[in-house]
Each structure stands twice: as structure tokens, then as C-alpha cells.
């Protein structure tokens, strides 16, 4: 059983997170009771790139490192998730392979919500469930718009990024099957597979 002050602190934290901000205090309490507390040590791999996931995490305390491994096995840190932030939220709507690994950079206190937990909220707190799903969809839509802007920028012959890529391409042209140097090229290679 969690101490009362820890529960109150986690409920207040949920109120500051965009995904849960639209919930009433009562709904936040219901959501919090549907989540599981998880303590992980520094270095623990929380999510592995490529594995199918169906959970999201809220960082109550600590820092998670987001890491991507390329097709050659080279890993790079691409971000971090700190207290008051969420990771893996798309998996509660669409269980699919994880796009990155998430590793505890420090000891972490986490709240975990699974797809089944969210579906359960549809029965016990339908308004809260709808608000969470709506917030996730809104966030995914925002990310998609940003990707579209980046693609448009790379395709625009007048953009600085496009001119720099053309200069590199003209200096050392790649065979058509190796367009891995640009975002669009990598996307095209994935689409062709």
C-alpha cells in the first residue's frame, strides 16, 4: 500500500502533465488507482526497441534515457524523459513494436498504465478514458505535423537544408538503393521494403 502523501503527490503530478491535465481531481484519482507503481534501478531497460509494447509510463521521479539502435547495431541517445513526463503513450492505443529503447539513467519511480488499464477506465471512468485518448491523439497529430513540415523542408528546393543535402549529393552521389543520408531517403527505403 502506498503512503497517503505519496498518493496525493502522484495525483498532483498527474494534474501537471498535459495528458491528464483535462481530468477532474476525482478522475485523476480513479486513473491513479488504475496505474501500478514501479521502482527501477539505474541501468534497467524499461522498454526495448522492436519489442511489442502495450504500456506507457509516467516518470514520478528520476530520468529515463531514450536510445535508438540503427541497422548496423550502433546506439545513440536521442532524448530523455524526466519527472512529470510520459513515454510510450502510443502503445496504449496501438500495441506495436517500440521505436526506441528506454533505459533508467537514474533510479526511477514510475507509474505504469497498460492498454488493458485504459480499456478498464472506459467502463469505470469513461470521461477520463476519453480525455486521455483525446490527449494522446492530439499529441500524435502534433508530432505528425512536425514530421510533415520536416519532409516539406527537405523537399523544398529553396530550403537551406535541401541545398546542403544537394551539395553533399553532388559531391558524392550514392546509388539509388542507398538514400540513407536523408530523412526522406530513409523513409523511402522503409516504404520500398
Pick from 131, 85, 137, 93: nearest CA to 114:
93
Which of the residue ranges 28-32, 162-166, 172-176 would you say has the lowest mean pLDDT?
A: 172-176
> What pLDDT does 1 receive?
40
- Domains: count for the chain: 2
Do 31 and 109 have their domain in common? yes
From residue 112, alpha-carbon distances to 35, 96, 158 in Å are 5, 17, 45
Q: What average pLDDT is seen over the chain?
A: 82
Do 85 and 175 have their domain in common? no
Confidence of residue 168 (pLDDT cuts 50, 70, 90): low
Whether the Cβ atoms of residue 32 and residue 112 lie closer than 8 Å to each other: no
Do 72 and 163 have their domain in common? no
pLDDT in tens, 38-59: 999 999 999 999 999 999 999 9
Do 12 and 83 have their domain in common? yes
Confidence of residue 65 (pLDDT cuts 50, 70, 90): very high
Encode 109-136: b = buried (16+ Cβ within 10 Å), e = exposed: bbbebbbebbeebeeebeebbebbbebb
**Residue range(s) defining the domain that contains residue 186:** 156-192
- Partnered with residue 57 across adjacent β-strands are 87, 112
Amino acid at each position: 500500500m502506498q503512503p497517503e502523501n505519496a498518493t496525493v503527490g502522484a495525483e498532483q503530478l498527474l494534474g501537471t502533465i498535459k495528458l491528464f491535465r483535462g481530468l477532474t481531481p476525482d478522475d485523476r484519482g480513479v486513473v491513479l488507482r488504475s496505474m501500478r507503481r514501479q521502482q527501477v534501478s539505474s541501468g534497467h531497460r524499461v522498454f526495448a526497441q522492436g519489442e511489442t509494447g502495450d504500456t506507457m509510463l509516467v516518470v514520478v521521479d528520476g530520468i529515463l534515457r531514450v536510445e535508438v539502435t540503427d541497422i548496423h547495431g550502433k546506439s545513440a541517445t536521442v532524448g530523455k524523459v524526466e519527472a512529470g513526463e510520459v513515454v510510450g503513450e502510443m502503445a496504449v492505443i496501438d500495441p506495436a513494436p517500440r521505436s526506441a529503447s528506454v533505459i533508467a539513467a537514474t533510479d526511477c519511480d514510475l507509474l505504469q498504465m497498460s492498454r488493458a488499464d485504459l480499456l478498464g477506465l472506459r467502463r469505470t471512468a469513461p470521461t477520463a478514458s476519453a480525455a486521455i485518448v483525446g490527449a494522446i491523439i492530439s499529441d500524435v497529430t502534433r508530432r505528425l505535423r512536425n514530421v510533415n513540415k520536416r519532409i516539406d523542408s527537405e523537399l523544398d528546393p529553396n530550403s537551406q537544408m535541401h541545398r546542403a543535402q544537394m551539395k553533399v549529393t553532388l559531391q558524392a552521389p550514392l546509388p539509388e538503393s542507398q538514400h540513407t543520408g536523408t530523412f526522406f531517403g530513409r523513409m523511402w527505403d522503409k516504404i520500398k521494403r
